[in-house]
């Protein structure tokens, strides 16, 4: 019922502070004149969930490490909408990481931080803290917890896009991606023999290109332009990475009523430990600016 | 878990249903109804509206990752898929998967990705079809 209430509240009238909030975002709203919002939304929809990386990290055998995550104590530092949106994404990734590793007590701290930031951005009605908090108390609820958390973040992104607040959606996704990058880079540094993690870092070149494309629409926003400059530094490091794609026709068969595909195409990633180190250092530097 | 998820999704469908009285195609509801139909072990990623009443295709894109298995399913108001076919194309627009095999309409595709990149998830309609449905994307390692 809480979930229904949160969704119903989405359709209710504007709160008194909505107008002030919208005015505070006006400069960012006009940052991309002539840009089709559908194009921005289509790119936003491409960005994969940081949850995919958290699952990979767990299945690669790496150990849970809470010191890699952003402390929930940093919350009071986030005074601008720019920082709030970025760190909402950061904490979202941290929550997914704690959930995947079954560290629910750590996760509960992030639920509280996420709710605070979402409320301050006037999107708190989409984050069902009561249900998520209840599910987080029992590790047997992991599937439901992941489902509801993912749905909540999807609702937030769809709402922001429908309200022409794409800039916040871009920041939320970028914060989440950078946090996942940072966790992956740190884990890879501790497990230099793990080639899959190195490849995973190399593959992020594709995501970075999409994020840079998104930021190019908001160059007139000083905060976003500043972050774009930092991300372009990361791109310089990624320019040394080569992703080679070879297409080969796939085959399919029906198994238990499901079309099961055998993908015969391949990608290979040319990345060295030195490349990983450089990417890690730049990512750390950008992420430190975001969470400070 | 499935029961709880279904109850939550059912309630959410009711909550957004007020807008659907106006629309003929309840693509939102159909997309939500597809989520609990993802096979066991798959983590939900996205739900997609397939509202093609005025179009001959609906398309989304997503970055698929090597080493991850994805599942995409299709839901409709009519029988089975109601002529909705979901196909996956790679960045070069090569078709790598489809839910129509030998004339048979399949409700879900399991795609173990072997090549990281941007993929296009395209929904088309084999007539007769109401051009209205929903779909969900999930993943597992």
Q: How far apart are the first and last CA of chain B?
A: 20
For the cut 90, the answer to whether the pLDDT of residue B18 exceeds it is no
The confidence score (pLDDT) of residue B3 equals 52
Please enumerate in sequence order all residues whose Cβ is within 8 A of that of A163, keeping only pairs 6 or more positions apart, or say none.
none
Whether A94 maps to a domain, the answer reads: yes
> Looking at the partner chain, which of B46, B65, B109 has a beta carbon nearest the beta carbon of A261?
B109
Please tell me the distance from the alpha carbon of residue B23 to that of residue B20, in angstroms, as a whole number.
Answer: 5
Q: How far apart are CA A198 and CA B125, in angstroms?
A: 41
State the pLDDT confidence band at A5, using cuts at 50, 70 and 90.
Answer: very low
> Does pLDDT of B15 surpass 90?
no
User: Rounded to a whole number, what is the distance in Å from the CA of A42 to chain B's nearest CA?
Assistant: 7
Q: What pLDDT, on the 0 to 100 scale, is given for residue B5?
A: 53
Whole-number percent of chain A with pLDDT over 70? 88
What gap in Å lies between CA A96 and CA A101, rounded to an integer?
A: 9
Strand partners of residue A244? A268
- How close B28 gets to chain A, by Cα (Å)? 12
Q: Flag whether A15 is in a domain.
A: no
Backbone angles phi, psi at B20, to 5 degrees: -75, -15
Q: Which of A258, A264, A271 to mutate to test the interface with B (most CBs of B within 10 A)?
A: A258
Q: How would residue B53 be classed by pLDDT, with cut points 50, 70 and 90?
A: confident
- Tens of pLDDT, residue by residue over A203-225, are 999 999 999 999 999 999 999 99
**CATH, residue B36:** 2.60.120.380
> What is the average pLDDT score of chain A?
89
Of the segments A5-9, A144-148, A234-238, which one has the largest average pLDDT value?
A234-238
Contact A104/A136 with Cβ under 8 angstroms?
Answer: yes
Query: A179: which 2 tokens?
Result: 């946090």
Does the structure show a pLDDT above 70 at A34? no
Does residue A261 sit within a domain? no
Domain span including residue B100:
2-140
**How many residues are recorded in chain B?**
141
What residues contact A30, with CB distance under 8 A and at least 6 apart? Answer: A220
- The domain of A120 spans 2-6+36-243+273-291
Token pair of A146, please?
């992941």
pLDDT at B17 over 80: no
Q: Does any CB of chain B come closer than 8 Å to the CB of residue A151? A: yes
> How many A/B residue pairs have CB atoms within 8 Å?
156
Total count of domains within chain A: 1
Q: Of A56, A206, A247, which is closest to B118 when you measure between CB atoms?
A: A206
CB neighbourhood size of A288 (10 A): 10
User: From CA A289, how far away is CA B26, in angstroms rounded?
Assistant: 44
Judge if the upstream peptide bond of residue B128 is cis by omega within 30 degrees of 0. Answer: yes
Q: For all residues of chain B together, what is the average pLDDT? A: 87
Q: Do B94 and A247 touch (CB under 8 A)?
A: yes
Domain assignment present for residue A208? The answer is yes
CA–CA gap between residue B23 and residue B19 (Å, rounded): 7
Domain count, chain B: 1
Residue A153 and residue A173: Cα distance in Å, rounded?
10
Q: Which of residues 235-254 of A touch B (CB under 8 A)?
A: 243, 245-247, 249-250, 252, 254
pLDDT > 60? residue A76: yes
| Half-sphere exposure at residue A69, Cβ-oriented, CA atoms within 13 angstroms | 23
- Asked if A203 and B116 come within 8 Å (Cβ–Cβ), the reply is yes
ipTM for the complex shown: 0.87
Query: Min CA distance, A10 vs chain B (Å)?
Result: 9
Task: Quote the pLDDT of residue A25.
Answer: 47
Rounded to whole angstroms, how far apart are CA atoms A286 and A185?
13
Task: Please tell me the distance in Å from B76's CA to the nearest CA on chain A.
Answer: 16
Whether residue A13 lies inside any domain: the answer is no
pTM above 0.80, yes or no: yes
* A260 to chain B, closest Cα gap in Å: 5
Q: What is residue A123's predicted lDDT score, i.e. its pLDDT?
A: 96
Residue A251 lies in a domain: no
Which pLDDT does position A12 carry in this prediction? 36
pLDDT digits (tens, 9 = 90+) for A248-261: 999 999 999 999 99
Q: Is A24 exposed, middle or buried (0-12, 13-18, 19+ CB in 10 A)?
A: exposed
Cα A22 versus chain centre, distance:
23
Which site among A252, A262, A269 would you substitute to test the B interface, given the most B Cβ atoms closer than 10 Å to its Cβ? A252
Residue in chain B closest to A246 (alpha carbons) equals B115
Residue A210 pairs in a beta bridge with: none
Bridge partners of B48, per DSSP, are B135
Number of other residues whose CB lies within 10 A of the CB of residue A120: 17
Note whether residue A85 is domain-resident: yes
Q: Does residue A26 have a pLDDT over 70?
A: no
Q: What is the DSSP letter of B9?
A: H
Give DSSP secondary structure letters for chain A. -HHHHHHHHHTSPPPTTHHHHHHHTHHHHTTSTT--HHHHHHHHHHSPPHHHHHHHHHHTTPPP-GGGSPPGGGGGG--SHHHHHHHHHHHHHHHHHHHHTT-HHHHHHHHHHHHHHHHHTT-GGG--HHHHHHHHT-GGGHHHHHHHHHHHHHHHHHHHHHTT-HHHHHHHHHHHHHHHHHHHHHHHHH-TT-HHHHHHHHHHHHHHHHHHHHHGGGTTSHHHHHHHHHHHHHHHHHTT-EEEEE----EEEEETTEEEEE---EEEEE--HHHHHHHHHHHHHHHHHHH-
Which tens digit of pLDDT belongs to each residue from B104-134? 999 999 999 999 999 999 999 999 899 999 9
């Amino acid at each position: 019922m809480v979930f229904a209430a949160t969704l119903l509240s989405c359709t209710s009238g504007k709160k008194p502070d909505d107008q002030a909030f919208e005015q505070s975002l006006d400069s960012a709203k006009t940052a991309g004149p002539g840009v089709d919002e559908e194009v921005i939304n289509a790119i936003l929809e491409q960005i994969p969930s940081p949850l995919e990386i958290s699952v990979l990290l767990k299945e690669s055998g790496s150990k849970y490490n809470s010191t890699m995550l952003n402390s929930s104590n940093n919350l009071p530092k986030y005074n601008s909408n720019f920082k709030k949106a970025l760190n909402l994404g950061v904490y979202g990734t941290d929550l997914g990481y704690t959930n995947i590793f079954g560290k629910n007590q750590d996760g509960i701290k992030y639920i509280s931080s996420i709710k605070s930031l979402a409320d301050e951005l006037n999107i708190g009605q989409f984050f069902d803290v009561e249900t998520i908090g209840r599910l987080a108390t029992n590790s047997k609820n992991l599937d439901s917890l992941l489902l509801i958390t993912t749905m909540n973040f999807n609702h937030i992104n769809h709402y922001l896009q429908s309200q022409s607040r794409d800039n916040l959606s871009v920041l939320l996704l970028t914060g989440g991606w950078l946090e996942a990058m940072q966790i992956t880079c740190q884990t890879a540094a501790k497990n230099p023999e793990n080639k899959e993690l190195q490849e995973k870092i190399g593959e992020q070149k594709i995501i970075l290109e999409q994020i840079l494309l998104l930021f190019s629409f908001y160059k007139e926003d000083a905060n976003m332009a500043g972050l774009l400059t930092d991300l372009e530094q990361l791109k310089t490091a990624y320019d040394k990475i080569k992703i080679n794609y070879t297409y080969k026709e796939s085959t399919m068969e029906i198994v238990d009523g499901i079309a099961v595909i055998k993908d015969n195409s391949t990608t290979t990633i040319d990345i060295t430990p030195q490349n990983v180190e450089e990417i890690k250092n730049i990512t750390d530097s950008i992420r430190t600016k975001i969470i400070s | 878990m499935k029961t709880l998820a279904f109850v939550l999704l059912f309630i959410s469908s009711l909550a957004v249903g007020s807008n659907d009285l106006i629309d003929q195609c309840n693509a939102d509801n159909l997309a939500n109804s597809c989520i609990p139909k993802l096979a066991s072990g798959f983590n939900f990623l996205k739900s997609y509206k397939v509202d093609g009443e005025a179009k001959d295709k609906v398309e989304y894109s997503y970055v698929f990752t090597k080493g991850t298995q994805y599942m995409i399913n299709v839901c409709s108001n009519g029988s089975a898929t109601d002529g909705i076919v979901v196909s996956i194309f790679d960045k070069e627009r090569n078709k790598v998967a489809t839910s129509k095999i030998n004339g048979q309409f399949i409700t879900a595709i399991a795609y173990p990705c072997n090549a990281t990149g941007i993929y296009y998830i395209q929904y088309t309609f084999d007539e007769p079809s109401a051009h209205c449905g929903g779909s969900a994307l999930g993943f597992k390692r």
